[in-house]
Structures are given as C-alpha cells and as structure tokens.
Amino acid sequence: MKYVMETDKKKTARAMSIEAPISPRDALEIVRTIKGMKLGPAKDYLDRVIKKKSAVPYRKFTDSVSHKRGTGPGRFPVKAAKYVLDTLSNAENNAEFKQLDTEKLVVKSAIAQLAPPIKFYVYKAFGSSGKFYRERVHIQIILEEIE
C-alpha cells in the first residue's frame, strides 16, 4: 500500500496501520481531529479519549450522536483511539530513529481509508450459512518537523 502524500524524507516521519479492525466512521472523525496538532497534545488528547475524559467531535456522521458538553455532537471511540494512538507512537519512534526533534513535530497528514472487507461465514439455523463482513481500516500518519 502506498502513502497518499509525497513528503521530504529528511524532515518527516511516517507510520501506517493496515487492516485495523475498527469502525471507519470513528477512525475518520479521530484523524480529522488530530490533524494539525503537535505530537504531545495529540497523544494527550487520545489518552483522554481512551479514559473517556474528552469526547471526539463528530462533524460528518452526526445521525443519532448525542451532544457532549464543550464539543457538540460527539462520542468516546475507545477502540479506534487505541489503534490511532499506536500508529502515532510508531510514527514518533520512526522520527526518533531519524533523529528529528520530537518537540517540533506536527501531525501533517492523518488519513483513515476503508480497507477491503474480510468475509466470514456464519452458520445459521437449519444448516444454512451467510456471509458476515468485518470492517477494516487503513490508517496513515505523517509527522513533520517545523522550525
């Protein structure tokens, strides 16, 4: 799988998570929220989402999403936040390997794409079986060092 953006390899660090078993809607709203944040505040924000202290504002998929104080319509997608935090930590480790300054890193690009579904056969009554599709998401995060 290719990265969506071409970047300067000396000032950026990238990480990708392939076929994460999370909701595409939750992943999209999380990566929209952390895009443009500095690395430290983005990791703190995802930790607060996992602990259910801060809600993720939902801007696109707002059907039957309850209102949260200070954010508007939002939810606490804990499982998706864990996968995005793991990908962000991998990008941070790649930046440390490239000897970039972690204090100056900014989330330049954060993308969640729908992956091809994986088919499972679920057996029903009377020996019949039906297909069950599990949702998967590809997550790409690019960190850039800013002066």
Q: pLDDT digits over 97-142, tens only?
A: 999 999 999 999 999 999 987 777 777 777 677 777 788 999 999 9
Instruction: Report residue 138 as tokens.
Output: 């590809």
Task: Give strand pairing partners of 139.
Answer: 17, 112
Question: If you search the block for the tokens 């998967």, which residue do you land on?
Answer: 136
Q: What is the pLDDT of residue 13?
A: 94
Q: Worst-scoring range by mean pLDDT, 33-47, 59-73, 80-94?
A: 59-73
pTM (2 d.p.)? 0.87
Q: In whole angstroms, give the CA distance from residue 125 to residue 25.
A: 32
What's the CATH fold of domain 12-145?
Ribosomal Protein L22; Chain A (3.90.470)
For the stretch 88-109, pLDDT in tens is 999 999 999 999 999 999 999 9
Q: In whole angstroms, give the CA distance from residue 135 to residue 144.
A: 30
Q: What is the pLDDT of residue 7?
A: 81
All structural domains of the chain with their residue ranges: 12-145
